[in-house]
Structure 1
Amino acid sequence: MKSMEHAQRTSLARFPGWWPVALAAGMLAGCGGGGGDAASTEVAAAAATEQAAAVAAVESDAIVTVNPEAALPDKCTRPNRTNDTIPKLMECVTYSEVRKHQQALQDIANANNGTRASGTPGFDASARYAVKVFRDAGYDVRRQYFQFRTFEEVSDTVLQVVAPNARDVPNNILAYSPSGEVTAAVTALPFQPTDDTPGCEASDFNGFPRGHIALVGRGNCTFALKATNAQAAGAVGVIIANNIEGEINGTLGADFRGRIPVTSVTQEEGNTLAGLSGLRMRIKAETKMENVSTSNVIAESRKGDPDQVVMVGAHLDSVPEGPGINDNGSGVAAILETAKQLGKVHTRNKLRFALWGGEESGLVGATYYVTTLEPWRRDRIALYLNFDMIGSPNHGFFIYDGDNSDNVGAGPGPEGSAEIEKAFEGFYERRGIAFRGTDFDGRSDYGPFIAAGIPSGGLFTGAEGIKTEEEAGLWGGTAGQAYDPCYHQACDTFRNVNAYAFNVNLHSVAATTLRFAKDPTPPGAGRAEAAGIARAGSSATLLRQGDKFIR
């Protein structure tokens, strides 16, 4: 999951908690006809009072302290216990109980070749476990099945200079590249800054010699589009050169149906190759793709307003290389226990929990869910909360940047995303915890939701990105090391956790879920219906499809 190409900022809010009341007052003042309508004023006042009460309930979470080692209190097991306030909910969503869910996922991986990847028995067992937890808590549960294409690099891709001076060239095959072996002359298109959109237009290949390999710079459109244009012009292979330092971890997307191999090189290597005359190269790629069936797990409360659905999600699958207990057993476990403890609560808004399949293959499950929903059902989703990797051992505290307040990286989320961000900020502020923003860059399951114009937000503690000295000063841990040194590896096990960070965040998951479930005017509520039009999508520039870059 998530990289650390994130925007960074600290909280500057001096008065946490004022914003929902002010926002509600502003919205209500602008509703209806002209002033002077006594009935409208009374309704507005009542709604504002209800909103203020909801805010007060949220603020009261500051007085709750939780011992990470504490067992589930006896009062939380009483048959008549209803966790209808945030303090009561936080008493019963305990670290010890959440860790039991992670242990169950670890046990499942242990019994299934060390993995819970989509399309494997380990994933199916994980889904069955989640279904049971949700059903036992009183939710209506279903598994939504779909197929997707898997990609495997069967053997290391070979890229060689044949002439003028033979040598091997380090490269990274793009996911969903076809197999192929070809030796041919190389023709380079102009790189940036000569061309800001190299290979993005069919006309960029005017005069391209058929039967050559195309060397194309990265930039401003998808790798798939560059490869498609190159193939149409007669290229027999494509090499994408990075336009920044480092390697490309890229994908052509599961829908790519090209016939020529596509690999990538660093910016430095690309510049070197482009400067050679009489260049001939060899590409040998052996890849495998197949269609696999997997599922999403969807659980919905039986009560609550169906026109205002608060949706909470996390991906259930791991990578094939490991059990995925932080990525993303942490988000899954927090959601399962939150749902369990909210099972008896009759919330104002309908709650819908989703555990996604196929995230590690490119957000496949979440994308399938959003794109196959009828428009009127999509418009009933008031907001989406995403929790992916929330217990990283060398953690940071990151919140998705709903308003793009730093003007760095991807743009803001859809309207209402800033409110979600502020709710998470308030949770951290009341505990004196510093936080930073992280971009909506398309690397986790919020991607299809913000593309559909649904307000979104969530938490993240870091993946393969490197912790800075400043961040180590804020949060402890080790500067110069990855937030999760076991990211996408076999060592992402039950032991791969920071208890403090995970404990804080699992309670933020619970508190924020209930806060929006009780909110009379959650972000995005009724926007599409009131406007009579479909929601506009996000202005965020999605750079990724899950873990891999698409452009």
Structure 2
Amino acid sequence: MKSLIPLLALSTIVASSTVQRPLQDASSSEAVVSSKSRPLVNSTQLQGHIHSDNLLKRAKELYKIAELGTAEYGHPTRVIGSEGHAGTLNYLYSTLSQYSDYYDISNQTFYATLGKIFGSRLVLGSAQVTASPMSLTPPTPKKEPVYAPLVLVANEGCNPSDYPKNATGSIALIRRGICSFGAKSEAAGRAGALAAVVYNNYPGSLSGTLGDPSKYHVATVGISNEDAQPYIKDLEAGKIIPSSVWVDAIVRRTPTTNIIAQTKGGDQANCVMAGGHSDSVSEGPGINDDGTGSLSLLEIAVHLTKYSTENCVRFAWWAGEEEGLLGSDYYVSQLSSEENMKIRLFMDYDMMASPNYAYQVYDARNSRNPVGSQELRDLYIDWYTANGLNYTYIPFDGRSDYDAFIKHGIPGGGIATGAEGIKTQKEVDMFGGRAGAWYDPCYHQLCDDVQNCNLGAWEINTKLIAHSIATYAVTFDGFPKRTSVKTDAVTEDSPYHGPELFM
């Protein structure tokens, strides 16, 4: 495949990290056998290899790897550019390399912009307000607080006309929506604001990323709609609110790496592809997000080596998802038309074990996405139904790594268990858990550790992942054929993609 280089080069990126030894699998020696002696993969048999205790062992190993990031970040993390992420790449590689007779293993290195925030504070009037600095925000000038009146920006702050004349020298208060956080920060900077505060247009706190740096970006933080409303009313009433913003941060470029493993056997012109992201946010170890998806794929990849396949199977572990779906974007952008057409479908597995879970299926419809997306959606539904399990639809809105694939004509879909969304009473009746709470109360936080994973949900979803891979590894009969790298799908701006990524 284009722009893939031998995985040996991975050492140039991760040489400074402690190499993590892979978990020992009792069946590892079984992988080194002639492909002719392997039986054809069977969904039931592949699912039978999946056990929560093995997933838990891998999660504990991944947390140890995340602790490699403590020296630089002060806590466990696997954010790109950290020792924790380098250790994650080593762990994936060292595990997969045991099966080099079965997989062609390669990496894909690219440069990404990485931000690190050391501290921040927001004071509105006389009160300190809880605020989340945006990823890739610049610091305040000289990393010192700026003091200025708070000014309410009209509409969503996407256009120059939204900013009043007194925005110069102010701290701009901007509503979320319409355009990216980066565009808002840039517009505020162009209007002469010293800093920007973006408030949510939904209940709950707000954080995100500014995306690619701009010389016009100003220090930008996010706050909840609830915290913003009293100040909005005061500003609309003509009151002056002296305020201050302080952000200590750096933004830098760093190399990072996608890892790809493809079966040597099977029809190489007809590939089923599955991916998850290998990185976490800087704020925590990311064991559920997306350690669970990454480890589900790794566990399945190990057990798949016991079987042969009719179609090729391609696994991917993306880097830089948390910085704006960077790894998957880069991968798809490097595919030739010929290589693109070999991918019959892409399946995204991100967050498989949220503690307050729901079994969520992306509502991917052929009328709005590449044809085949709905057939994949229905495969998940049929499996949940056959196993007496409830499920619910969630928007297929570009929030995860499937986005680049469907924008380049490749059918896509996936499952999840929920992030910062609020669980309803109806969902409690379907899945248990707590109404009114996030699906993952530790989403993008330090507490996203091993204890944050619901092992029962993780095992069930990993079995479903195994089913999806085994099904298409055997046959694409009845699945729509690829006809073009272009799509007639409805192309709307993804509200969560790139610099618009909601975190």
TM-score, structure 1 normalization: 0.74
- Alignment counterpart, residue 253 of structure 1, candidates 206, 211, 215: 211
CA distance in 2: counterparts of 1:130 and 1:243, whole angstroms: 39
2:104 equivalent in structure 1: 140
* Residue correspondence of structure 1 range 103-502 to structure 2 within 5 A: 103-110=60-67, 113=70, 114-137=76-99, 138-161=102-125, 167-180=127-140, 181-185=145-149, 187-191=151-155, 198-205=156-163, 210-265=168-223, 266=225, 267-269=228-230, 271-277=232-238, 279=240, 280-343=242-305, 345-403=307-365, 412-502=368-458
Q: Contact 1:248 / 1:549 at 8 angstroms: preserved in 2?
A: no
Give the 3 Å change call, closer, same or farther, for CA 540–76 of structure 1 in structure 2: farther
CA distance in 1: counterparts of 2:94 and 2:313, whole angstroms: 17
CA apart distance, 1:247: 3.1
2:494 equivalent in structure 1: 542
CA apart distance, 1:547: 11
CA apart distance, 1:535: 2.9
CA apart distance, 1:144: 1.5
SS of equivalent to 1:355 = strand
CA distance in 2: counterparts of 1:333 and 1:124, whole angstroms: 16
Give the 3 Å change call, closer, same or farther, for CA 259–220 of structure 1 in structure 2: closer
CA apart distance, 1:73: 9.3
TM-score, structure 2 normalization: 0.80
CA apart distance, 1:269: 4.2
CA apart distance, 1:209: 6.0
Give the 3 Å change call, closer, same or farther, for CA 486–175 of structure 1 in structure 2: closer
SS of equivalent to 1:327 = helix
Give the 3 Å change call, closer, same or farther, for CA 350–77 of structure 1 in structure 2: closer
Query: Match for 1:456: what amino acid?
Result: G
SS of equivalent to 2:327 = helix
CA distance in 2: counterparts of 1:239 and 1:496, whole angstroms: 31
CA apart distance, 1:305: 3.1
CA distance in 1: counterparts of 2:244 and 2:68, whole angstroms: 42
* Residue correspondence of structure 1 range 45-64 to structure 2 within 5 A: none
Give the 3 Å change call, closer, same or farther, for CA 264–103 of structure 1 in structure 2: closer
Q: Contact 2:77 / 2:282 at 8 angstroms: preserved in 1?
A: yes
CA distance in 1: counterparts of 2:188 and 2:362, whole angstroms: 36
**Unaligned 5+ runs, structure 1:** 1-70, 192-197, 405-410
SS of equivalent to 2:272 = strand
CA apart distance, 1:392: 2.5
Q: Contact 2:309 / 2:473 at 8 angstroms: preserved in 1?
A: yes
SS of equivalent to 1:282 = strand
Give the 3 Å change call, closer, same or farther, for CA 523–255 of structure 1 in structure 2: farther
Give the structure with higher Rg (CA): 1
Q: Contact 2:185 / 2:196 at 8 angstroms: preserved in 1?
A: yes
SS of equivalent to 1:527 = coil
CA distance in 2: counterparts of 1:517 and 1:306, whole angstroms: 11
Q: Contact 2:46 / 2:466 at 8 angstroms: preserved in 1?
A: yes
**Unaligned 5+ runs, structure 2:** 1-24, 71-75
CA distance in 2: counterparts of 1:178 and 1:414, whole angstroms: 38
CA distance in 2: counterparts of 1:78 and 1:550, whole angstroms: 44
Deviates more, 1:204-213 or 1:139-148: 204-213
CA distance in 1: counterparts of 2:188 and 2:441, whole angstroms: 38
Query: Match for 1:378: what amino acid?
Result: N
Task: Count matched residues.
Answer: 461
CA distance in 1: counterparts of 2:478 and 2:105, whole angstroms: 24
SS of equivalent to 1:544 = coil
Q: Deviation per CA, 1:69-94, whole angstroms, max 9, x where unpaired?
A: xx989998895443522223223344
1:17 equivalent in structure 2: none
Give the 3 Å change call, closer, same or farther, for CA 216–186 of structure 1 in structure 2: same
1:516 equivalent in structure 2: 472
CA apart distance, 1:460: 0.9
CA distance in 2: counterparts of 1:387 and 1:545, whole angstroms: 17
